[in-house]
Amino acid sequence: MRKILQLPIAALALSAACVAGAQAAPATLPRLVHDGGHTALFVDGAPFTMLGVQVNNSSNYPATLKKVWPAAHDVHANTVEIPVAWEQIEPAEGRFDFGYVDTLLAQARQNGLHLVLLWFGTWKNTGPAYTPEWVKFDNARFPRMVDPQGKLSYCLTPFGEQTLKADKKAFVALMTHLKKIDDARHTVLMVQVENEVGTYGLVRDFGAKAQAQFEQAVPAVVLQHQKSPVALAASGSWREVYGDYADEYFHAWAIASYIEEVAKAGRAVYDLPMYVNNAQRNSAEPLAPWKDNFASGGPTWNVIGIYKAAAPHIDIAAPDIYNPESVQFDATLDKFQRPDNPLLVPEMSHAAGYGRFVYQVLGRGSLGIAPFGIDYTDYSNFPLGSKATGKQVIEPFVETYAVFESMQRLWARWAFEGRTHGIAEADDRKDQTIPMGAWTATVSFREWQFGERSWPNPPAEFPAGTEQPNGGVAIAQIGDNEFVVVGQHARVRIASTAKQGNGAMFARVEEGRFDASGHWVMERNWNGDQTDYGLNLTGHPVILKVRMGRY
């Protein structure tokens, strides 16, 4: 953690007031700011936590938006991630229609929500489904990849010059329009370029142009950013440097280079932060060459370096998380949060067990998070997500988002200063510890609010809502001895690790809230049964401001 100061909450509240304040001039565009190893998304001049939702895939039409805003409001989101499809803005070549984009931004503003636009262009879940029809079926002008026998893949090749030119032209038109309508308002915070790129079933393009490139030397900038998983030649052809990984790594380079052209051209007209998302390869299993077990060439954890080298106008390679195993979840966050790659979880399943991960992701200082499929369009992406449709889809997130909502600006600043921590209950349900300077938090699960498991004859049953792993805790250390604690289905104990005094105890455990200007409003002080057995957080999250003392 950088700069552990005894920073009074009032000082933080002051900065939050400036952030939220009516006088704050929204002069600068949303941008990523890096400092001391941490990154923040600055919106109107100060750090912002994106409490996002991503809508279902076909909700990007004016008539459907009425089913989007109520869900975003009900769950206490501040940002909606929503597609803009190439097919809808350029249905006939060269004829652009931004009617939907205009309606979208106008309604987002009326609803007090920010947007992240998802550019569904050449690739959406690797395929060309969102390209206009004049692109989809013209193999000669917009070529597909081919296998070693010359058989066509469904996937458009990243070596299609006309495809790149056309995608870039449409994207630039979108960014130009966005600048015209949003430069002064900053409704749109970021843009995702393409969606879950890569190719299923074929490791790379074997067409003539691709093959000729494959035989060239690996560019020096790639060599600088991406080590080979196996010790081979330090330079040379892709095969010589990357061995059995060469085809996948080459395909990642080809797609990243294509995306770079699109992003660079878009940012030249309107410079918003941009990111790519990916359908992951398993982040917990040992690295092995591609075996048709994930989309080759996407920005999976093992090729982030290639994306950094080839696509400097892309700020973040971000994971879409649809595997609930806690070991994989942890591994994903570990692999994607790097000094050169800030953490952002732009998509996550909305199934029940994922609510707890919000604490872990935001506690680790993510720029934001967004469960996928949150709207009221009567669509469920079970089994990846929840079976529910309608109001039930928001249930795993609603109370968590509500507690973060009032302090999202403060939380973003604390995260930027390296003061935040977060964990989610693991599948093994074991206790976890969080080191915090001269203090350690120990988090346990499935506890009752009163008493100890070690007492004789502990109850055989467990609290409702803990049948499956469902606990999570996020803590911001806002001073040497002071913490903001939020969580659910967890017991938090804080102990001193400093060799000072005879012991430590709670000085204050205030339950309360942050008001609109970021000032703390104390509602009650927890003591007695509420603190004798640690801080017992139920399924109804609250904000606690905890001060520890030593005697």
Binding site for ligand DGJ (CB under 6 A): 57, 125, 195-196, 320, 347, 372, 381, 384
- Which of residues 347 and 482 has its CB atom nearest to ligand DGJ in the complex? 347
464: CB partners within 8 A, 6+ apart = 539
- Rounded to a whole number of angstroms, the minimum distance from the CB of residue 389 to ligand DGJ is 14
Shortest reach from residue 197's CB to ligand DGJ, in Å: 10
Cα 43-169-132 angle, rounded to 5 deg: 105
Q: Give the pair of three-digit tokens for residue 146.
A: 């081919």
Q: How many angstroms separate the CA atoms of 280 and 54, rounded?
A: 18
Nearer to ligand DGJ, 14 or 384 (CB): 384
Give whichever of 355 and 373 is closer to ligand DGJ, judged by the CB atom: 373
Nearest approach, Cβ of residue 90 and ligand DGJ (Å): 20
CB of 381 to ligand DGJ, least distance (A): 4
**CB of 311 within 8 A of CB of 298?**
no
Considering the complex, state which of residue 269 and residue 384 has its C-beta at the smaller distance from ligand DGJ: 384
SS3 260: helix
Least Å from the CB of residue 195 to ligand DGJ: 5
Question: In whole angstroms, how far apart are CA 358 and each of 49, 241, 332, 490?
Answer: 12, 39, 14, 14
Q: Which residue has the tokens 């009221």?
A: 376
Q: Name, in order, each residue with C-beta under 8 angstroms of 185's C-beta and a sequence gap of 6 or more.
A: 26, 105, 109
Residue number with CB closer to ligand DGJ (332 or 466)? 332
Give the nearer residue to ligand DGJ in terms of CB position, either 250 or 372: 372
As given in the structure block, the two tokens for residue 477 are: 């250390």
Least separation in angstroms between residue 384's CB and ligand DGJ is: 4
Closest CB to ligand DGJ among residues 263, 276: 276
Q: Is 542 helix (H, G, I), strand (E, B) or coil?
A: coil
| CB 372 to ligand DGJ: min, Å | 5
442 forms bridges with which residues in the sheet? 433, 493
CB of 488 to ligand DGJ, least distance (A): 24
Please identify, using beta-carbon distances, which residue of 196 and 447 lies nearer to ligand DGJ.
196
Report the nearest approach of ligand DGJ to the CB of residue 196 (Å): 4
List all residues 6 or more positions away from 53 whose beta carbon is below 8 Å from its beta carbon. Answer: 71, 72, 75, 77, 79, 80, 81, 370, 371, 374, 375
Find the Cα–Cα–Cα–Cα dihedral 124, 129, 131, 137, rounded to 10°.
Answer: 140
| CA atoms of 411 and 16, how far apart (whole Å) | 10
Q: Which is nearer to ligand DGJ, 80 or 309 (CB)?
A: 80
Taking CA 391 as the corner, what is the angle to CA 385 and CA 394, rounded to the nearest 5 degrees? Answer: 50
Rg (CA), the chain: 24
- What tokens appear for 498 in the block? 């400093």
Give least dist CB 322 to ligand DGJ, A. Answer: 6
Nearer CB in complex with ligand DGJ: 351/476:
351
The Cβ of residue 35 has, within 10 Å, a number of other Cβ atoms equal to: 11
